[in-house]
Amino acid sequence: MNQYGHNFTKTIQRIDAAHHMHPFTDHKSLNAEGSRVIVSADGCWLTDSDGNRILDGMAGLWCMQVGYGRQSITDAVAKQLAELPYYNTFFKTTHVPAARLAEKLAEVTPAHMNHAFFVNSGSEANDTVFRMVRYYWDLMGKPDKKIIIGRHNAYHGSTVAGTSLGGMGAMHKQGDLPVPGVHHIMQPYWFGEGGDLSPAEFGIKAAQALDEAIEQLGEDRIAAFIAEPIQGAGGVIIPPETYWPEIKKVLARRDILLVVDEVICGFGRLGTWFGSDYYDLKPDLMPIAKGLSSGYLPIGGVMVSDRVADVVIGKGGEFYHGFTYSGHPAACAAALENIRILQDEGIVERVRDEAAPYLQERWLGLADHPLVGEARMVGLVGALELVPEKGNRSRKFPSVGEVGTLTRDMSFRNGLVMRAVRDSLILSPPLVISKSEIDELVARARKTLDDAHAELSKRGLLA
Ligand code: PXG
């Protein structure tokens, strides 16, 4: 117990249940249990109001690259708030942090991307994408190129455009989405959908679905293809090695824009600055958020390639789009300091050369557990597929998601945050995680698997 204590926890849980509507939450089940109250954090560790210390295996929500408790980010924000807490970037004005951050982003993103459009979240970044690709083709004199192709089980945010571009069926059902002009193709999810094909064969098939959709809908009607390098919220779907090379071949034949959603993969998650670097992609637009500021303040952006900027800036007039807080000075200051830390501490290189190989070896070792059908990981993002019968990919638990949630809750109780997607466990820790913390993390994950295995066999859910 810390200074907050049991009564404090109960009070916060009570007022939270009475007044706070949470994102993506079934409130009946939340309020029956009471929410966990997080009061502080340091490095890779969270502390709740009962004094439990929990290892944050999800980096907040895939965003806490540089770790909690960075005094220099707090100082940079405080200094900016004192100097200029707010001014807009409309009407021919700018301010120092927005200009400097745009310049810095042009430096760290792929060489052909030299402009940043600032927003406040990944969802707003994808709303911006939605409007900008259509505006681009209008300016190119091809107003019929309107359709954006996304993928089933992709996640691009929860605004109207974000939900529509994403491929989450349950989200589409709420609010009659997607909006017209979005088409979804299959995802490269070999474990779940690969059938009898080898991963390599399946990767080709999934990529050819893009070409087939373009053929079927007509290239003259397609504006863009949008994809995450590795699907995050969809369950850390790491595409087979053949997938992106084949997509690149399709795109080379077709005149459509490539939008690479870097909201999760960006800023070092894969051991490269961007997922586009990892897979050698040349995006025309690149939504970014999360790791841009390590979540210290909300900020996102769309990185715009020279190809698109030349048209939107060069040919276009005013693009009627933007937000009150586009390029908020304090958020830009947080992002600038965050990127300075990533660069000066060599964090991305450390992920590539040390942390990722060390964690991967141990994480992939969990594949020997009887509950694990597949362990996969690239950089510092991975998944464990939980299965009732090892070695049988087609056999699922009877009620999809139940085992995932149960195991996720056990993990929390064992002092490790993992996230559940369907019946898989997801991991995406802060990039600064140390080797001893990795050992601790994997020990807690294994204990969680053992606990879940015992519980599931008691319930008769295992083969
Ligand atoms: N694109 C991608 C690839 C994302 O992962 C967004 C866009 C939207 O970003 P904002 O900032 O609007 O949330 C995301 C966000 C989860 C989870 O449960 C994942 C996200 C957000 C919330 C929850 O895995 N990803």
What's residue 5's pLDDT? 80
Residue nearest to atom 23 of ligand 1 (CA): 61
User: What percentage of residues in the chain have a pLDDT greater than 70?
Assistant: 100
The CA 229 to ligand 1 mean position distance, Å, reads 14
CA distance 460 to 450: 15
User: What DSSP character marks residue 294?
Assistant: T
261 close to ligand 1 (CB < 6 Angstrom): yes
Question: CB of 187 closer than 6 A to ligand 1?
Answer: no
Cβ-proximal residues to 277 (8 Å cutoff; 6+ apart), any chain: 110, 270
H or E element: which one contains 348? helix 347-350
Mean pLDDT of all residues in 198-202? 98
For residue 123 and ligand 1, the question of a CB distance below 6 A is answered with yes
Cβ(156) – ligand 1 distance below 6 Å: yes
Classify 182 as helix, strand or coil: strand
What are the residues facing 346 on neighbouring strands?
A: none
Instruction: Encode pLDDT of 257-280 as tens digits.
Output: 999 999 999 999 999 999 999 999
Quick one: pLDDT band at residue 3, thresholds 50, 70, 90?
confident
Phi-psi region of 448 (alpha: psi -120 to 50; beta: other; left: phi over 0): alpha
| CA–CA dist 409, 401 (Å, integer) | 12
Give the pLDDT confidence score for residue 380 in this predicted structure. Answer: 98
pLDDT tens readout for residues 406-431: 999 999 999 999 999 999 999 999 99
Give the whole-angstrom CA distance, residue 62 versus residue 131: 26
Query: Does residue 161 carry a pLDDT above 80?
Result: yes
Residue 304 belongs to what H/E stretch? strand 300-305
At 164, the pLDDT band (50, 70, 90 cuts) reads very high
Rounded to the nearest 10 degrees, the angle between the axes of helix 199-217 and helix 243-253 is 20
Hey, what CATH topology would domain 71-344 get? Aspartate Aminotransferase; domain 2 (3.40.640)
What is the number of the ligand 1 atom nearest to the C-alpha of 154? 3
Render pLDDT for 4-51 as a digit per residue (tens, 0 to 9): 888 999 999 999 999 999 999 999 988 888 899 999 999 999 999 999
Q: What is the reported pLDDT for 33?
A: 84
pTM of the model: 0.98
| 156 C-alpha to ligand 1 centroid (Å) | 6
Pairing of strands 257-260, 222-227: parallel
Would you state the pLDDT for residue 463? 84
- Whether the pLDDT of residue 2 is over 80: the answer is no
Q: How far, in Å, is the centroid of ligand 1 from the Cα of 331?
A: 18
* Strand partners of residue 304: 115, 285
Judge if the beta carbon of residue 163 lies within 6 A of ligand 1: no
Distances (CA, A) of 114 to 101, 308, 339, 364, 460: 11, 10, 16, 38, 57
121 lines ligand 1 (CB under 6 A): yes
Residues 225, 189 contacting (CB under 8 angstroms): no
Amino acid letter at 458?
K
Would the pLDDT of 289 be above 90?
yes
Residues 6 or more apart whose Cβ sits within 8 Å of residue 227: 150, 151, 154, 247, 259, 260, 261
Give nearest CA residue, ligand 1 atom 19: 233
Q: What is the DSSP letter of 299?
A: -
Instruction: With residue 47 as reference, give the H or E element that holds it.
Output: strand 45-48
Question: pLDDT averaged over the chain?
Answer: 97
Partners of 427 in beta bridges: 382
Q: What phi, psi does 221 have (nearest 5°)? A: -110, -5
User: In the structure encoding, which two tokens stand for residue 327, read together?
Assistant: 């390029």
pLDDT digits (tens, 9 = 90+) for 301-347: 999 999 999 999 999 899 999 999 999 999 999 999 999 999 999 99
Q: Which amino acid is at 363?
A: W
pLDDT in tens, 56-77: 999 999 999 999 999 999 999 9
C-alpha dihedral (216, 281, 429, 390), degrees to nearest 10: 50
Ligand 1 pocket residue status of 171, Cβ below 6 Å: no
Give dist(CA 7, CA 12) in Å, integer. Answer: 9
Looking at the chain, the domain(s) classified CATH 3.90.1150.10 span 36-66+346-458
Q: What is the mean pLDDT of residues 139-143?
A: 98
Instruction: Answer whether 61 contacts ligand 1 (Cβ < 6 A).
Output: yes
428 CA to centre of ligand 1 in angstroms: 13
pLDDT (0 to 100) of residue 1: 63
Please tell me the distance between residue 88's alpha carbon and the centre of ligand 1 in angstroms.
Answer: 26
H helices of 140-168, in order, are 160-165
Q: Which residues pair with 385 in a beta bridge?
A: 374, 424
**What is the location of CATH 3.40.640.10 in the chain?**
71-344
Mean predicted confidence (pLDDT) in 162-170: 98
CATH entry 3.40.50.10470 includes domain 36-66+346-458 = no
pLDDT value, residue 435? 98
> What confidence score (pLDDT) does residue 351 get?
98
Q: Judge contact between 118 and 327, C-beta under 8 A.
A: yes
